[in-house]
Amino acid sequence: MTINKPVKCGTLESNDIFVMLTPNESGIVIELESVVEKQFGAHIKNVIEDKLKEMGITSVLVKAQDKGALDYTIRARIEGAVKRSY
């Protein structure tokens, strides 16, 4: 499945993540800006990619601005954005 229209979910509040999903033709591409990118950037990208694959998304551009969100928040924001794209 792919994303057909741009969607967003989340906030720029502390301990949250703002994600924007847009259509993409070349698989899953993740652009991340995070206050903890040096320590947890790879892990955050893995959480995002795993949730997208779990939901059957194979092609999307993800722009994420993280403010220290925990894994369950990241997964919830990705799920919310995907469901808004239907």
CATH of the domain at 75: 3.30.230.10
Nearest to 13 by CA among 80, 76, 67, 64: 67
* Radius of gyration, CA atoms only, the chain: 12
pLDDT at 73: 98
Q: Which domain holds residue 78?
A: 7-84
Task: Look at residue 40 and tell me if it is in a domain.
Answer: yes
Query: How many domains in the chain?
Result: 1
pLDDT at 86: 84
pTM (two decimals): 0.95
**Which residues of the chain, if any, have pLDDT below 70?**
none
Task: Look at residue 2 and tell me if it is in a domain.
Answer: no
